Amino acid sequence: MKFLGKKRGFTLIEMLIVIVIIGVLASALIPRLGSARGKANDVARKADLQQVATAIISYQIDTNYFPTGIKSFSDTGFQANLVKGGMASIPVGDTTTNWTGLDNVSTGGYRYYPMKKNGGANNGFMLASRAETEGGANFVHCGLASVVTPDGTIDVDSIKMPSKIVLDTDGTCTCNGGAGGEATACDKNQLLYIYKY
């Protein structure tokens, strides 16, 4: 004969302890998951810009010139140029990016800038996108209005890349003062990834 005793469940205190432990673990993991998402987005942006650069170079090989004027990737004429260069689908990027101060154009997403290279206007280009993390950025912008122009007469080599980027929201901003220098962003919106050709 089996003895049927009282079935024992979890007490209220035990349940509360488990809930507190789960809450502590979740609060420690959620910021890391957000950072991982930002890093993944930055990797995707870099891949998008590399594909677009390849299409632009292919377009230039076919037509003997690069597209002219500062362009958003949502510009239909620019999209047609990318399709001619071999792109099947056009990446749009982060459409909430505010580019005011970069080139005084307030549309978001990825940007194309014609640049001077090897002595000739519009012989090179620069692509830009916002970066979400310091590791995904290679440029801190404090305003590129004097660096980029729609006519492609600014030399692509005049854009100096920093050796290290730091995000310090309480510190003093230091822009890209020269090749090999350190740049400090005071705001996440100053973090950019640029591709120069």
User: How is the chain split into domains, by residue range?
Assistant: 36-196
CA distance 29 to 56: 41
Which carries the bigger pLDDT value, residue 40 or residue 155? 40
| Most trustworthy range by pLDDT among 32-41, 90-99, 119-128, 161-170 | 119-128
Residue 167: what are its φ and ψ, rounded to 5°?
A: -105, 115
Place of tokens 């079935």: 7
CA distance 177 to 85: 35
Lowest mean pLDDT among 37-41, 60-64, 149-153: 149-153
Instruction: Name residue 127's beta-bridge partners.
Output: 112, 195
Residue 87 reports pLDDT greater than 50: yes
CA dihedral 70, 74, 75, 80 (to 10 degrees): 110
Mean pLDDT within 170-193: 71
Q: What is the pLDDT of residue 101?
A: 42
Q: What is the pLDDT of residue 128?
A: 85
Given pLDDT bands bounded at 50, 70 and 90, which one contains residue 149? low
Tell me the pTM: 0.71
CA distance 40 to 36: 6
